[in-house]
Structure 1
Amino acid sequence: MSFPTSPEAMSPAWLAGKLGQEADALRGFTASKVGTGQMCDSFRLTLDWAHEVDAPATVVAKCPSHDEASRNIAKITGTYIKEVSWYRELAGTSGVAAPVCHHAEIADDEVDFVLILSDLAPARQGDQLAGLGLAGLVPCIEAAAGLHALLWDDSRLDSLPWLTRDNGDVIRAMFPQLYAGFRERYATRLDSGVLDIGAGIIERLDAYLTRQPAARTIVHGDLRIDNILFGPAGDRCWLVDWQTLGRGSGATDLAYLVGTSIADPFERAAADRPAFDHWIAALRQRGIDPDTESLWTDYRIGALSGYFMAVFASMSVERTTRGDEMFAVMAERPARQALALGSLDLL
Structure 2
Amino acid sequence: MSFPTSPEAMQPTWLSAVLGHPEKLKGFVAAKVGTGQMCDSYRLTLDWDAGVDAPATVIAKCPSHDEASRNIARLTGTYVKEISWYRELAAASGVPAPICHYCDIADDDVDFVLILSDLAPAQAGDQLAGLGLSGLIPCIEAAAKLHAYLWNDARLAQMPSLARDNAGLIRTLFPQLYAGFRERYAERLAPEVLDLGAGLVTKLDAYLAREPSVRTIVHGDLRVDNILFAPDGEACWIVDWQTLGRGSGAADLAYLVGTSIADPVERAAADRPAFDHWIAALTAAGVKPDAAALWTDYRVGALSGYFMAVFASMSVERTARGDEMFAVMAERPARQALALGSLDLL
Same fold, TM exceeding 0.5? Answer: yes
| Matching residue's letter, 2:101 | H
* Cα offset, 1:153, TM superposition: 0.3
Following superposition of structure 1 onto structure 2, how do residues 69-88 of structure 1 map, counting pairs within 5 Å? 69-88=68-87
* Cα distance in 1, alignment partners of residues 287 and 93 from structure 2: 16
Residue-by-residue CA offset, 1:193-247 (whole Å, 9 max, x unaligned): 0001111111111110011101100000000000000001001000000000111
Which secondary structure state, in structure 1, belongs to the residue aligned with residue 288 of structure 2?
Answer: coil
Deviation of the 1:34 alpha carbon = 0.6
SS in structure 1 of the partner of residue 96 of structure 2: coil
Q: Is the 8 A contact 1:157 1:247 kept in 2?
A: yes
**Equivalent residue, structure 2, for 1:68:** 67
Q: CA deviation at 1:93?
A: 1.8
What SS class does the counterpart of residue 60 from structure 1 fall into?
A: strand
Give the 3-state SS of the residue equivalent to 1:232 in structure 2. Answer: coil
After superposition, what is the alpha-carbon deviation per residue over 1:240-286, rounded to whole angstroms, capped at 9, x for unaligned? Answer: 00000111110000000000000111111100000000000000000
How much has 1:96 moved relative to structure 2? Answer: 0.6
Match of 1:221 in 2: 220
Amino acid at match of 1:339: L
Equivalence for 1:261: 260
> Which residue identity is paired with 1:256?
Y
Alignment match, 2:2? 2
- Aligned partner of 1:168 in structure 2 is 167
Scaled by the length of structure 2, the TM-score of the pair is 0.99
Matched with 1:13 is 13
Moved over 4 A (4+): none
Partner secondary structure for residue 56 of structure 1: coil
Offset of 1:56 from its aligned partner?
A: 0.6
In 2: Cα distance, 1:110 partner to 1:52 partner: 39
In structure 2, C-alpha distance between the alignment counterparts of 1:231 and 1:225, rounded to whole Å: 13
Q: What secondary structure does 2:283 align onto?
A: helix
Aligned to 2:308: 309
Percent of matched pairs sharing the same residue: 77
Shift of 1:54: 2.5
Partner of 2:156: 157
The whole-number CA distance in structure 2 between the counterparts of 1:119 and 1:150 is 25
1:129 corresponds in structure 2 to 128
| Aligned partners of 1:217 and 1:249 also within 8 Å | yes
**Alpha-carbon distance in structure 1 between the residues aligned to 2:11 and 2:106:** 19
* CA contact 1:252–1:301 (8 Å) conserved in 2: yes
Find the aligned partners of 2:53 and 2:151 in 1 and give their Cα distance.
37
**Matched residue count:** 346
Where 2:208 maps in the other structure, the secondary structure is: helix
Alignment match, 2:32: 33
**Partner SS for 1:97:** coil
| Amino acid corresponding to residue 299 of structure 1 in structure 2 | Y
What is the alpha-carbon distance in structure 2 between the residues aligned to residue 33 and residue 263 of structure 1? 28
Listed one character per residue, the Cα deviations across residues 108-160 of structure 1 (whole Å, up to 9, x for unaligned) are 00000000000000001100000000000000000000000010000110001
Residue 81 of structure 1: CA displacement? 0.2
> What code does the residue aligned with 1:73 have?
I
- CA-based RMSD of the aligned residues comes to 0.5
Matches within 5 A, 1:1-347: 1-22=1-22, 24-347=23-346
Note the residue ranges of structure 2 that are not aligned, 5 or more in a row. none
In structure 1, stretches of 5+ residues that fail to align are none
Q: C-alpha offsets along residues 273-322 of structure 1, whole Å, 9 cap, x if unaligned?
A: 00000000000000000000000000000000000000000000000000
Take 1:264 and 1:336, find their aligned partners in 2: how far apart are those partners? 9
Give the Cα separation in 2 of the matches to 1:265 and 1:176: 27
Please report the TM-score for the alignment, with normalisation by the length of structure 1.
Answer: 0.99
The residue type equivalent to 1:296 in the other structure is W
How far did 1:187 drift? 0.2
CA contact (8 A) 1:92 1:101 kept: no
